[in-house]
A and B are shown apart, each in its own frame.
Chain A
Amino acid sequence: MKPVSAIIFKDIAIELRSKESLASMIMFAVLVLVVFNFAFESTGLDKSLVAPGSLWVAVSFAAILALNRSFAKETDNDCLQGLLLAPLSRGELYLAKVSSNFLFMLIAEIIILPLFVVFNALNFDFRFAEVIAIVFLGTLAIAGIGTILSTISSNTRMKEVMLPVLQIPLTLPLIIAAVESTREILMDDTGQVSSWLYILAGFTIVYLTLSYLLFEFAVED
């Protein structure tokens, strides 16, 4: 087995036994969707105006829960030493961690997305397929930048608090682009959607590349 896939399978095996990340992500995201429903119910606003915001708050904050666990479990028992001794470059180690984080977020979203449609009285039609594509891209971007930021935050005191403090300001362009493109699709007004997709794709490419290059510094002893 190649080292990269060995690390991904290791993460999957741990997750299958503990189910920590998936359970907390799904529960948290569902709570966000429910709270948003109450927060905006009485305003009488059109559901498709509020829904994109609730979806992306749920996705990006749930991702932070999983990312917090992702490196904490490596540092808890000094497992990071073992990972660094594995026969692969630091960049490949980064890609392996991004892949497993991305995978767990996608699995959580398989549950979150249908609930999002049901709660907001939307339909499972072609627009839903387009929203899935945007969620896929946005999740890749969050996994890409979140993996390196969680490595940084796992070195701090108050790890759990540091990650959102570092991540939310940096992912703001991503969240704006994701919310706006989702909203335009749901409202059938796709005039600007290509600009938002450029920002989304540009953000993903820039941060995956930059993090791939910088990861060796982030795990250095």
Chain B
Amino acid sequence: MKLKILAILTFVSMVFALYMIFIVAPRESTQGDAQRIFYLHVPLATFGYVGAFLLGFGSIRYLMTRDSKWDRLGHAAAEVTVAFITAQLITGSLWARPIWGPWWVWDARTTMQVVLYLIFIAYLMLREFVPEGPKRAILSAVFGLLAMIDVPINYLAIYLFRTQHPQAVISPGGGGLDADMAKALLASFVAVTLLFIYLLNRRLAIARVEEEINYLEQIVLAHE
């Protein structure tokens, strides 16, 4: 029931965000309509870091408590975040093509997002290749923790690497935002946040059922 209410809220806020983005927000003077991608792109990118935090938090809590719900949190957060970063990379690429020229530019932020993406995919692949059970939960929690510590170090290294090289492009979002633009961004942030919470809860519910099925299978096998 709670999930249903959340789903409706998410839907309504997304429609409202689209209205804000396409109708209320003014047309940007230099970039034109392509700039409207920014309203969706920025919130999506933010959740890459939220996902990294949730993965690290779930991993620490699992190692401390051995409660499988924390393992499920890490797993669900990683999966939803991969979906979000995928969308973020695609929207970024669509924006980059008309504005920068190439589909892809290795600037500090894009590089960081790709590395984050690779770390999450490595985590999910690891889970895929370890047989289900407490062993998998422990190993993925150890990797999740090592990976979370890596995020700030990576950020530092990439930032230093990219800033000492000449900047080929000017980053978007510099300077103040128009009031209507800020409202559109806020609406989009709310919508994307609700979507993240909804998908995360949905994935957690599925993970609980998976675990239950697994447990029942074990019992059936033991009786045969």
Which residue numbers of A lie inside 8 Å of B, CB to CB? Answer: 145, 148-149, 152-153, 155-158, 162, 165-166, 168-170, 172-173, 176-177, 180, 192, 195-196, 199, 202-203, 206-207, 210-211, 214, 217-218, 220
Contacts and interface: CB of A to CB of B under 8 A. Distances in A.
Contacts of B143: 149, 152, 166
Nearest to B141: A217
A192 B160 contact: yes
Interface in B89-132: 115, 118-119, 122, 125-126, 129-130
Contacts of A158: 129
Given A165-B122, A203-B153, A217-B138, A172 B145 contact: no
A155 B126 CA distance: 10
Given A214-B145, A217-B142, A173 B154 contact: yes
Given A170-B146, A217-B138, A195 B118 contact: no
Main secondary structure of the interface of B (DSSP, over half): helix
Given A156-B130, A162-B126, A166-B126, A173 B145 contact: no
B164 interface: yes
B150 A199 contact: no
B158 A166 contact: no
Interface in B8-25: none
Most A Cβ at <10 Å: residue of B145, B157, B161, B164? B157
A173 B146 contact: no
Contacts of B34: none
A193 B129 CA distance: 40
Contact of A169 (B115, B130, B158): B115
21 contacts: A148-B146, A152-B139, A156-B126, A156-B130, A165-B122, A166-B122, A166-B126, A169-B115, A169-B147, A169-B150, A170-B122, A176-B161, A177-B157, A180-B161, A196-B160, A206-B149, A206-B153, A210-B145, A214-B63, A217-B142, A218-B138
Given A152-B143, A217-B63, A218-B139, 13 more contacts: A149-B143, A149-B146, A157-B130, A162-B126, A170-B119, A170-B147, A172-B157, A173-B153, A173-B156, A195-B160, A206-B153, A207-B149, A210-B146
Nearest to A218: B142
Most A Cβ at <10 Å: residue of B145, B149, B154, B164? B154
For the complex of A and B, the 7 pairs showing the least CB-CB separation, nearest first, are A173-B157, A156-B129, A169-B118, A176-B157, A173-B153, A169-B119, A173-B154
Nearest to A202: B153
B135 interface: yes
What band does the interface of chain B fall in when counting residues whose beta carbon is under 8 Å from A? Answer: 20 to 34
A180 B159 CA distance: 13
Contacts of A177: 157
A125 to B, nearest CB: 25
Interface of B: 63, 115, 118-119, 122, 125-126, 129-130, 135, 138-139, 141-143, 145-147, 149-150, 153-154, 156-158, 160-161, 164
A177 B142 CA distance: 25
B59 to A, nearest CB: 10
A180 to B, nearest CB: 7
Contacts of B156: 173, 199
A156 B130 CA distance: 5
Contacts of A217: 63, 138, 141-142
Contacts of A156: 126, 129-130
Nearest to B130: A156
Given A155-B130, A173-B158, A217-B141, A145 B153 contact: no
Contact of A207 (B118, B119, B125, B146): B146
Contacts of B119: 169-170
Nearest to A169: B118
